[in-house]
Amino acid sequence: MPATGQPAAGGSGAVDAEATGVGGAGVFAADTSICTGEPHPRQPRRTLPEGSFADIDWARPWFAQHEARGRRWQQAALASYARYLDELNADAHAAQHRTGRGQTLGFIAQDDLPDGAAYEAHIAATGCVPTRHNLHDFFNALAWFAFPRIKATLNARQAAAIDVLGVGPTRGGVRDALTLFDENAVLFASADPALTEALRGFDWRALFVAGRAAWETAAGEAAGVTAGAAAVLHDPPRSLAPGLAPGRPRCEVHVFGHALLEKLIAPYAACTSHAWVVDVPPPYFAWPRAQRNAYLDETVSAALAADAHLSGRSFAPLPVLGIPGWWAQNEDPSFYDDTHVFRPGRRAR
């Protein structure tokens, strides 16, 4: 249990609604008119410790991707649970995003999920996302605005599976994979097939050391090669694929999973994501950020909707703190020598 008193991601309470798919008596009782039509929200019976929201360090590159909206929500969450829900619903009303079956997105208190209702099915049918006053659901809400099409597709497929199989003690392979994506995915956008091959082949030296200059940092520049990294590069520079230029970014990562963001409040070396590879055209890295995000949202949502064989093997493990520019210690190439973190992987056995 974290010091804040909130369950850790994957613990007994952090993902209970999503994991079981069934609502019931929750912690909070605030309500919002956007989903219920009631003119005044009920006050929450109890709130979780607010210090956890203050722990978000927006200077971290994984949080910086969500900073513009996140800082405003953070202040609302620190003020009160009711104000926090109001802020989410004001943004939802302005954006008019849709959930998995075309309903307008909104946010309600966890207590307003009807007893026995499946979490994902309720979102698809009503547009209302049951939301607790904690970091886990804070980051989940941010994902609905960063990549709304991906979130809607995940919701649609989860709801469709529940329609067929109901809610049981296990989700099945496809729903497990959808949940992995929702909770722990990063989007690995790459214009360089060699870097994609290195990721999928667990070739960490090629990906993070020899390929270091190809990574775009949070500042929008290539990460570059440190003196330490340069000292261990003995191979001549390889030729690049057509359309790629040396010294220009050729790959980047967006953190999507909300449980992953929750874990990164207190980052640790072995924190590993499920990377979903997105092949992007070379001009992608010259596009404005909004255009890139829209491309990822459309491309990934289409792929998720069409993949009938989605499974855990649809992803590639990616240790988050190995990403160049994301963790100071990885400037030393020996950082990648820890085989407990940077494992050779099943594909190399």
- Kindly report, residue by residue over 311-342, the tens digit of the pLDDT: 999 999 999 999 999 999 999 999 999 999 99
Q: Does 32 lie in the same domain as 155?
A: yes
Q: Which H or E element spans position 107?
A: strand 106-109
Q: Does 232 lie in the same domain as 165?
A: no
Range from 103-112, 165-174, 241-250 that averages highest in pLDDT: 103-112
Q: How far apart are CA 95 and CA 148, in angstroms?
A: 10
Token pair of 167 as six digits: 């809610």
Q: How far apart are CA 77 and CA 280, in angstroms?
A: 36
Phi, psi of 185 (to 5 degrees): -85, 150
The count of structural domains within the chain is: 2
CA 253-254-257 angle, to 5 degrees, is 125
Q: Is 10 left (phi over 0), alpha (psi -120 to 50) or beta?
A: left
Q: Does 69 lie in the same domain as 25?
A: yes
- Residue-by-residue DSSP string for 300-311: HHHHHHH-TT--
Averaged pLDDT score across all residues of the chain: 83
Q: Does 163 lie in the same domain as 212?
A: no
Q: Does 195 lie in the same domain as 273?
A: yes
In angstroms, what CA-CA distances link 238 with 60, 122, 167, 195, 243? Answer: 32, 52, 51, 12, 14
Secondary structure letter of residue 99 according to DSSP: -
Structural domain contains residue 54: yes
Q: Does 332 lie in the same domain as 198?
A: yes
Q: How far apart are CA 161 and CA 47, in angstroms?
A: 33
Q: Does 189 lie in the same domain as 162?
A: no
Asked if 43 and 29 count as a contact pair (C-beta separation under 8 A), the reply is yes
Pick the last residue of a domain from 169, 192, 207: 169
Q: What is the per-residue pLDDT across 118-131, written as a single tens digit (0 to 9) for each?
A: 999 999 999 999 99
Q: Does 97 lie in the same domain as 188?
A: no
Token pair of 207 as six digits: 């990906």
Asked if 19 and 168 count as a contact pair (C-beta separation under 8 A), the reply is no
* Predicted confidence (pLDDT) at residue 284 exceeds the cutoff of 60: yes
Structural domain contains residue 178: no
Token pair of 144 as six digits: 């609905």
Q: Which H or E element spans position 186?
A: strand 185-190
Q: For residue 119, which of 92, 137, 143 has the smallest C-alpha distance?
A: 137
Domain extent at residue 165: 16-169
Specify the pLDDT at position 346.
Answer: 66
The stretches of the chain forming alpha helices (DSSP H) are 16-20, 33-36, 51-54, 61-64, 67-79, 81-95, 119-126, 135-146, 148-165, 173-184, 193-200, 204, 227-231, 258-263, 289-306
Phi, psi of 90 (to 5 degrees): -65, -45
**Average of per-residue pLDDT across 202-212:** 97
How long is the chain?
349
36: buried, middle or exposed (CB in 10 Å: 19+, 13-18, 0-12)? Answer: middle
Structural domain contains residue 7: no
Q: Does 332 lie in the same domain as 194?
A: yes
**Average of per-residue pLDDT across 176-200:** 97
CA 253-173-305 angle, to 5 degrees, is 55
Structural domain contains residue 48: yes
Pick the last residue of a domain from 142, 169, 196: 169
Q: What is the per-residue pLDDT across 33-66, written as a single tens digit (0 to 9) for each?
A: 446 444 444 554 444 444 489 999 999 999 999 9
Structural domain contains residue 326: yes
Secondary structure letter of residue 207 according to DSSP: I
Query: Edge to edge, what strands does the sheet with 272-279 contain?
Result: 251-255, 185-190, 272-279, 316-319
Q: Which H or E element spans position 252?
A: strand 251-255
Specify the pLDDT at position 207.
Answer: 98
Structural domain contains residue 228: yes
**How many Å is the Cα radius of gyration of the chain?**
21
Structural domain contains residue 3: no
* Predicted confidence (pLDDT) at residue 10 exceeds the cutoff of 70: no
